[in-house]
Structure 1
């Protein structure tokens, strides 16, 4: 059974977050957590917290199961654009340059590989 976790209005551009999302897509949960923990890019911290939240959601859904036995993996992860805060920065000769502060929404789906393989076998 799969579990979902969502992060809304994270103040990072979608392009920067997608670089990390592409790294962990399809990986086992333990390996993905290790990659995010030691990755130098700053969006890795909220993405790591979101992955831990998805694992906790999976534990709540599957009360009797253990994470180690279930062989959890990141089934899907996608990053969508969020709201854009528009600000003005002073520029020469009385003009103003527009600054767009971007944000994003991230969704992670975690699933067990054992369950998926059993469905194929049946």
Structure 2
């Protein structure tokens, strides 16, 4: 299992954001990965889409959905697949395996093939 714990001393004003339109613009809050070139297919940085009709029906003035279908394989799982594949390659693993009957398997296959 891959687990990251953010430092208690992490403050927004200290975070440097890269100029890339992917989740990797936030690489600096992952110190162990900050100097690595990511395995990326430009995942993340997906738009918020206003759901006006549903918002009106539910009496919410500002209801938005995060459109994760814009990720490379159409799934929010691409974010984790990019992170896990980057970590695996950079720490010397030559093979990646995942037990999945759905989106995670597709995402890992896409990123591992890169």
| Bigger fraction of residues in strand | 1
- Report the TM-score when normalising by structure 2: 0.27
Q: Please identify the structure whose Cα radius of gyration is greater.
A: 1
Instruction: Give me the TM-score of the superposition, normalised by structure 1.
Output: 0.25
- Asked which structure has the greater RCO (Cα within 8 Å, sep 6+), the reply is 1
